[in-house]
Chain A
Amino acid sequence: MAKITLRIWILIIVLMLALLMISPSFKEGVLIKSVDANSTAFNNGLMQGARITAINGQLIKNIQDYTKAVSIYDGNTSKKIEITASNGDFVFLTDNAPEITVTNVPRTKIKTGLDLSGGARAIVRPVNVTLNANEMGDLISTTSQRLNSFGLTDVTVRPTRDLTGNTYMLIEIAGASPDDLRDLVGKQGKFEAKIGNNTVFIGGEKDIADVCRNDASCAAVQSCFPSSGGGYGCNFAFAIYLTEEAAKRHADITSKIDVDASGQYLTEKLDLYLDDNRVDSLLVSSNLKGQVTTQISIQGSESGSTQDIALEDARKQMNRLQTILITGSLPYKLEIVKLDTISPTLGREFTRGIILLGLVVFAAVSIVLFVRYRKIKMTLAVILTMFSEAVITLGIAAFIGWNLDAPSIAGIIAGMGTGVNDQIVIIDEAVSSEKSGLKDRIKRALFIIFGAFFTIVAAMLPLFWAGAGLLRGFALTTIIGVTVGILITRPAFADIIRKIQE
């Protein structure tokens, strides 16, 4: 075996490091993504990041197994559950399925973006105002808070800007996304409770000290009934706690209103407005007149064609109101300028397609290389270099935590394409029958390769900023790919070819 040069060693070491970064995992089970605070699961010690391998003695290999295993906990009777997890075994009584979200154990550390794993992406901007960095920070924290209190955990919210200096808020949600995402991120969330023209309280911490949530004793869908026009309606109610200031305001306003004929209620109702639309009118009990009361019950109802739909809608509306009452209103209107929800099923198809594509490209390129050079060694050298480049690029992407989306993958493939081009230049210079030294010819090859490198970097650079950075992945992976090529794989490849030639 020929001596391995320093450059080849560098390639081998970097390749190893890249594999370490990607580190494929073959562990079985499902990973706990989140655990609801103060839930039975939480109190019994289930922790985020732990891996569940069995439930009640059944092996859990994937989400499907998990869903099947917990389906017997239907909320009717208390049953024992035995969970075998990576951080210990847990046995407890529960009537509901554990209050956790799980995901399949990721096979690699490569982060897959929307196009591959499914999820939702929204780009939102405030209408008619330009936000400075602080205001954008506020918008992002309010939005994150809303999404979190809505029960979404795997969420990133960040600012993004484009070539002309417009700033946007970019929201990415992994996995299945709620269908009411539009309302959640695109609405100002202005909640007002009014009696007549007087505002009693508004959403946000100034007026609202606390909102009851996830506690059936003070927040629940109370009753469902067939409605007169066909279909069903469901009522919900939850308690909120006013701050002292808001409670005094409530007392002031109600003290001036008369009690109605029945003596049970006040003559004017408490109207609830969400983004200037009245969502409900509540009767105010006569014994609240002039009282400094801090606890108020917010009620509402939703209807649907079946009881299940009505129930689901009532739950959603309750959750939405609770979220908005906690987080308060934004001082401006919002516009959703982009909203993509990508199905995880299509994402899987896409991943399969990419792997197949990779194989086809490798095969096709190998065949033409062999036909042209008739040398197995050379063909193998090119293919191995191509493969190393892809692996190192993926390793770097995993290292910097880059979310691989469709444009990023296109970039990797295009990068590999230019990589092969460069290698052909090297081979042709090396095998040429000229009298000038091999070293000179390789030097000339490297001039061509550096030229090609700089042009492609120059050409892709503007994509980092254009279009709110949505195509940044394309530029990033191409540039990583060609840089890896120029610094690591090409010098090593030139040495390999030199060895083959000698």
Chain B
Amino acid sequence: MEDNKHQQTHKKHWYDRYYKLILLPPILLLVVCLVYLGIFYANHNDLIYKDASLSGGTTITISEKIDSNLIEQIKQKMPDSYVREINDLASGEHIAVIIDTSLPPEEAQPIIEEIIGFKLTSLNSSIEFTGPSLSNNFYKQLIIAIIISFVLMSFVIFFLFRTFIPSIAVIFAAFADIVFALTFVNIFEIKLSAAGIAAFLMLIGYSVDTDILLTTRVLKKSEGSVNERIFGAFKTGIFMTITGLLAVLPAFFVITGLPDSFRQIFLILAVGLSADIVNTWLTNASIIKWYADAKGIK
């Protein structure tokens, strides 16, 4: 206990001295991400890589073992297709093949059937088709949904704290979470599905938990110094994020047999929550500390 206190007083010193400086790396990172996304947009005329559910096309999942040279043939016959195999992580056994193509199913299905030598029925395969008119519409609407979601979240935050700077700090952290997560999926060339975009909405709601915790502890608590309150909030918050990650990561890494669109939701949440560690405990914490110092909150 004594030791702990001693450590905190020691920490207090460096935190008081450097908290403004700590703001710098995450803001630089945000700028780099924004520049990256800007260049990405200029090159692709879009903010993300879209899968068949957003760009129009067909996803065929065949739950049978298919020889790798047949898979090569499929790739050759349908040049725009994107084929990948799903293996069970535990046994390494081949579970399924997923084929993404811009062709409609009535054209893609015969080509695949000819190569693999058996008929695709509702027992051995799933076929998901989205027409281009719907997928465009989908995409636009989900973007609108993200904006509405963000605005509604901002209203709630303003309503909760009713002070400008602390509220803006929370909203800014949520924005940075989205930008980091978006940059991540683009760097790894992950094709986003409609469900994946929905995950960003979830992220907006989920990631502000720790920011609310931090702001409440600093502004509404009267015991201890501001630094102690920030460190206290950090101890709780980081543990929240860790358990949050434990709830979402297995869906992506352990249970690989789940549908891709489903796993994507959890990948995006995991990336967003990880980004949130930086944005809450470096960015938001420094801003709220700055605010508290300026306002003379003790």
Contact = CB atoms under 8 A, between A and B. Distances in A.
A340 B128 contact: yes
The 8 closest A-B pairs by CB, nearest first: A459-B205, A456-B205, A337-B134, A458-B152, A462-B145, A466-B145, A417-B247, A337-B131
B195 interface: yes
Nearest to A427: B236
B26 interface: no
Interface residues of B, number: 80
Tell me which of B152, B201, B224 has the highest count of chain A C-beta atoms within 10 A of its own C-beta. B201
Nearest to A410: B265
A78 B160 CA distance: 76
A462 B201 CA distance: 9
Contact of A353 (B148, B157, B257, B269): B257
Interface in B193-251: 194-195, 198-199, 201-202, 204-206, 208-209, 212-213, 216-217, 220-224, 232, 235-236, 239-240, 242-244, 246-248, 250-251
A349 B63 contact: yes
24 contacts: A162-B137, A343-B61, A345-B124, A346-B63, A357-B258, A365-B247, A368-B246, A409-B262, A410-B262, A413-B248, A414-B247, A414-B269, A420-B244, A428-B236, A436-B222, A454-B160, A459-B149, A459-B204, A461-B148, A462-B152, A466-B141, A467-B145, A474-B265, A478-B202
A319 interface: no
B166 to A, nearest CB: 12
A406 B240 contact: no
Tell me which of A416, A425, A444 has the highest count of chain B C-beta atoms within 10 A of its own C-beta. A425
Contacts of A340: 126-129
A455 B202 CA distance: 10
Contacts of A444: 216-217, 220-221
A474 B141 contact: no
B138 to A, nearest CB: 5
Contacts of A456: 202, 205-206
Interface string B116-151: 000001111111111101100110111011101110
A421 B152 contact: no
B255 interface: yes
Contacts of A413: 247-248, 251, 266
A284 interface: no
A410 B201 contact: no
B63 A345 contact: yes
Contacts of A435: 223
Interface stretch (A38-46, A79-87, A200-208, A445-453): A445-453
A458 B205 contact: yes
Tell me which of B213, B259, B269 has the highest count of chain A C-beta atoms within 10 A of its own C-beta. B213
B248 to A, nearest CB: 6
Interface string B169-201: 000000000000000000000000011001101
Interface in A191-231: none
B2 to A, nearest CB: 14
Contacts of B265: 407, 410, 414, 474
Interface string A337-377: 11111111110011011101100110011001100100000
A177 interface: yes
Given A343-B124, A463-B145, A414 B202 contact: yes
B153 A459 contact: yes
Contacts of A418: 205-206, 209, 244
Nearest to A369: B243
Interface in A399-417: 406-407, 409-410, 413-414, 416-417
A115 interface: yes
A434 interface: yes
Contacts of B133: 335, 337
A431 to B, nearest CB: 10
Contacts of A421: 209, 240, 243-244
Contact of B261 (A118, A406, A454, A457): A406
